[in-house]
Amino acid sequence: MVLWRRSEEFEAGTNFVAWACKVAYFQVLAFYRDNKRDSLVFNVELVSMLAKQNEEKLAGSQDLKRVLSRCLAKLPEQSRRLVQERYAPGASVQSIAKEQGRSVGAVSQMLYRIRQLLQECVQKTLASEQGEKLS
């Protein structure tokens, strides 16, 4: 909503994603500032570093979204279901573990391996697409 309210400030021809992220980033920082007394353990500097480092990554976020969908489709059915369950409303590793009769550690390990697979798949696909563009 903040971005929508401030959308008229965006200057055509400039990097929209960077601008949008900057506004979002400032909102996060403002939240931190306003809630400074709520014993948050994060420091603003870390959030700032992460946000800045992430700007470049977000520039390719549309590609990432598309490639991630493809990689998700390549996962074994059981893994894909686990991803769906993990990101279902209100879900947690604990609730999945309880439902599946597994230990939290076991579910955590499965998710870790799925994330690893997805990460590798995304990186390889993006790299290969980049290679095709260059050749």
Min dist. Cβ of residue 13 to other proteins (A): 10
Residues 6+ apart with CB under 8 A from 72: 80, 83, 118
* Binding flag, residue 30, other proteins (CB under 8 A): yes
| Cα(62)–Cα(15) distance, integer angstroms | 14
Subset of residues 91 to 110 that bind other proteins, contact rule: CB under 8 A: 91-95, 98, 104, 108
For residue 75, the minimal CB distance to other proteins (Å) is 11
Q: With binding defined as CB under 8 A, does residue 73 bind other proteins?
A: no
- Which residue stretches of the chain are H helix? 2-5, 16-34, 44-59, 61-74, 77-86, 93-100, 104-134
60: which DSSP letter? T
Looking at the Cβ atoms of 110 and 132, the one nearer to other proteins is 110
Binding mask 31-70 for other proteins (x = CB under 8 A): x-x--xx-xxxxxxxxxxxxx-xx--xx--xx-xx--xx-
